[in-house]
Amino acid sequence: MDYETIILEKKDNIATLTLNRPERLNAISEEMFPELLSAIADVDNDDETRVLVLTGAGRGFCSGRDAGGRAQGERERSLRGPEEGRQGILKGPTWIMAGLQKMETPTIAMVNGIAAGVGCDLAFSCDMRVGSENTRFVNAYVRMGMSPGAGGCWLYPRVMGLGKALQYLFTGDFIEAKEAEKLGVLNELVPAEKLEEATMALAGKIAKGPPIAMKLTKLLTYTGLEMDFEAALRYAAACEVITLGSEDVREGAKAFGERRPPKFQGK
């Protein structure tokens, strides 16, 4: 698929997906939805890709859903009726968030500026986030009399804890960079000029890890949020059996004995 609103690049087992509408602070247009879904599927089905980095072109990460496109879409949905309108909402941003959450590949949001509304949910849907002093998060649906429509109520408590999540969801206040680091929203907070370097260093470190174990670790972590402890232990034991039969485990043991970095192949 040829992309017009995003850029997808792959190098050294790392895929970089860039929202490419800098003149609109990378607001997600109707045209961008299918392109993002296609790119997410592409990365997740690529055995050579071990990490996805998601970012925005220019000075913003993502300012939310494009206002013009959204207004037109809402007008069209209102003419089609409530059920088709509901399906229209589901087929847009919510499918993108679900796609990111379901990815076996580890994901990192390189949040280079504002992440607002759907853009905030997009960043929160990633496994990790790296930001700079220019990073700001906001989910301001409440200011428009709306409840969060793209996963915010599920994502916020898991990223920062229940009390703070409800505070920001109820007020629609901005989460500034230092507060985001304090809350654990940002895994790393670095100077703006070091943002790409720090993000790619983290991505590179993860990309060198054992792919099978990484994918199972992500699966265990997210599914464990919905399990009781005993069920999670049984699930973990089953996953461990899978990794024990892999060539990567043998390579890890061999590398340890030879005192060298392992070269995992994902087999």
Q: What pLDDT digit, counting tens, does each position of 47-66 carry?
A: 999 999 999 999 999 998 88
Confidence band for 80, pLDDT divided at 50, 70 and 90: very low
pLDDT at position 120 is: 94
Q: What pLDDT digit, counting tens, does each position of 107-161 carry?
A: 999 999 999 999 999 999 999 999 999 999 998 888 778 777 678 888 999 999 9
pTM comes to: 0.87
pLDDT at position 253 is: 84
Enumerate the β-bridge partners of residue 7: 18
Please give the structure tokens belonging to residue 240.
């461990």
pLDDT at position 92 is: 64
- Percent of the chain at pLDDT > 70 equals 90
SS3 label, residue 146: coil
Domains with residue ranges and CATH for the chain: 6-207 (3.90.226.10), 211-258 (1.10.12)
pLDDT at position 91 is: 57
* Residues 143/172, Cβ–Cβ less than 8 Å: yes
In DSSP notation, 170-207 reads HH---EEHHHHHHHTS-SEE--GGGHHHHHHHHHHHHH
Alpha carbons within 13 angstroms on the beta-carbon side of residue 118 total 26
pLDDT at position 68 is: 65
